[in-house]
Structure 1
Amino acid sequence: MIKKDVIIGMLVGLIANSIGLYFTATLLRQGDDFITVIKAASEEGFLGKLISLGAILNLIAFFVFIKKRQDYRARGVLLITVFIAVLTFVIKLF
């Protein structure tokens, strides 16, 4: 049961981050499609920052789970957020 809740939290974290990344890219684009914005961000070196901004929705999901006393799901969201932080650090290095 605990493992299932952590996995659900991780899935919610990934989905929230993906939606946040899409919304962030939508705000930045000026008539371009999503893929073009991601390619331009990668070429210009701010893809890590874009992904980090997308992780803001993880904060909302985390606090919703904490408020509902679903601590293991909140732990899953937190694990994905840490993974995203490490990923952005690696992207910044290369």
Structure 2
Amino acid sequence: MIKKDIFIGMFVGLIANAIGLYFTASLLGKGDDFTTVIQAAADEGFLGKLISLGAILNLVAFFIFIKKKQDYRARGVLLITVFIAVFTFVFKLF
């Protein structure tokens, strides 16, 4: 049961990050297509920052799980957020 709740939290964290990335790209893309914005961000070197801004929705998911006393799901969201932070750090190095 614990592993299932952590996995659900990780899945919610990934979905929240993907939705946040889409909203961030839409807001900062000035009306361009999502793939065009992502490609331009990769070319100009700020894709990591865009992904990090997308992770802000993970805060919402985390606090919803905490409020509902679903600590293991909140732990899954936190794990994905840490993974995204490490990923963007490594992505920035290379």
Q: TM-score range by the shorter chain?
A: over 0.9
* Cα-to-partner distance string for 1:26-63 (whole Å, 9 max, x where unaligned): 00112310001000000101000000000000001000
**What residue is the counterpart of 1:50 in the other structure?**
50
**What residue is the counterpart of 1:2 in the other structure?**
2
Give the count of matched residue pairs.
94
- Residue 36 (structure 2) pairs with residue 61 (structure 1): no
Over the matched positions of the two proteins, sequence identity in percent amounts to 83
Matches for 1:1-94 after TM superposition, within 5 Å: 1-94=1-94
Q: TM-score, normalised by structure 1?
A: 0.98
Hey, what's the Cα distance between the residues in 1 that align with 2:74 and 2:43?
Answer: 34
Q: Aligned with 1:30: secondary structure?
A: coil
Hey, what's the Cα distance between the residues in 1 that align with 2:88 and 2:43?
Answer: 15
Q: TM-score, normalised by structure 2?
A: 0.98
| 2:67 counterpart letter in structure 1 | K
RMSD between aligned residues: 0.5
| 1:87 counterpart letter in structure 2 | F
Hey, what's the Cα distance between the residues in 1 that align with 2:53 and 2:29?
Answer: 15
Return 5+ residue gaps in structure 2 as ranges: none
Q: Segments of 4+ in structure 1 off by > 4 A? A: none
